[in-house]
A = this chain, B = another copy of it.
Amino acid sequence: MNDIEKIVENTIIHNWARHFKHPTTQFNKLHESDAELIKLYQDSNNYLAITIDTIAEEITTGLYQDPYTMGWITVMANLSDLAAVGSTPLGLVISVSVESSRDEKFINQVAEGMETACRTMNTFILGGDTNITPATALTACAFGLVPRNEALTRRGCKAGDSVFITGGLGTGNALALCRMAKLPDKYFPEQLYRPVAQIKEGLILRKYASCCMDTSDGLLATLDQLMRINGVGFEVNCDWNTILAPEVIKFCEQTKTPSWLMIAGPHGEFKLLFTVLADKEKELLATNKNLYFIKIGTVKQTPDISLILPNKKNVNIDVTPIRNMLYNVGGDFERFIKEFRALGKKWGLE
């Protein structure tokens, strides 16, 4: 159940990565970190953390329609990877590819989304590259420093550790479901989706987390990936009022959407999911009362994922078909939702 290559996305990445030799100066292995960690020079006390991410499918599929969102997410998705390794940003470079038909207003709004995201996080776009392409694709590369002995990775959690998230989940999936099911925008306006990279939280977690990963692909995919990397399992307490963001709870109520879809869909929310040695949990919470750390479960020995539902039933689920579904249905969103919900019914989640 926990072979990492059972996930189509991991296989695609592996098919590229297997060609590439890595330097001895690189700390992380494939899949094991949200950002690459590399020694700047032999006796440097810091790693350079560096990550690259392109926003393309979210635009071509119509998930993002507001150019400001496109720009905002391009920056935040990259900063979120830095947050997950405990780094603070030094800056970003961007490569922006747009159709020749795009007007100045479009450019201005994308750029404004990018710049406002940078101002929010107190970082900077240093420069970049522009291209004319058949479809918009926005790439950023973010980089920063992190002390070598404090860098966070996806590897390191042990049975008994507590599992936390840094905020309410589901905003990404609420927006995606709204689009896929062709619900009126008013139920989840795109402008509600303005995730903020958890840089401040990552900085604190350097001293506490046994592993850390951002929830850019949704909660279940994040847990599933950590399961495969660490050979452990997770038990999650599905108290929806605790786990989901308030606007997501409202969305579910108004549209009669089953709550579990908000943690199961592939469009995440850029919070951090991290694990903490049970011994350190009290100290973490006591010394960081102004930050919002939500305990959602525990790490367990057996490599599977158990959900404790509000009715106290305990359901063991295999996330593999969920994670591979987008690849299997192509772009057929109707089929996607149908197959998704069929799984939920099978598992007794709705």
A contact set with B: CB distance below 8 Å: 9, 12-13, 15-17, 19-23, 25-26, 28, 30, 36, 38, 40-41, 48, 50-54, 56-57, 60, 90-91, 93-97, 100, 104, 107-108, 111-112, 114-115, 118-119, 123-135, 137, 139, 141, 143, 145, 330
Contact = CB atoms under 8 A, between A and B. Distances in A.
A15 B104 contact: yes
15 contacts: A15-B107, A15-B108, A16-B111, A20-B115, A20-B124, A20-B125, A36-B126, A38-B90, A40-B90, A48-B48, A51-B93, A52-B128, A56-B133, A100-B330, A137-B137
A129 B53 CA distance: 6
A332 to B, nearest CB: 13
B97 A56 contact: yes
Q: How many copies does the complex hold?
A: 2
B118 A21 contact: yes
Question: Taking chain A's interface residues, is the majority helix, strand, or loop, or is none over half, making it mixed?
Answer: mixed
A111 B20 contact: yes
9 shortest interchain CB distances as A-B pairs: A19-B111, A141-B141, A36-B126, A52-B93, A36-B127, A20-B125, A54-B95, A134-B135, A23-B124
A141 B48 CA distance: 14
B52 A137 contact: no
B20 A50 contact: no
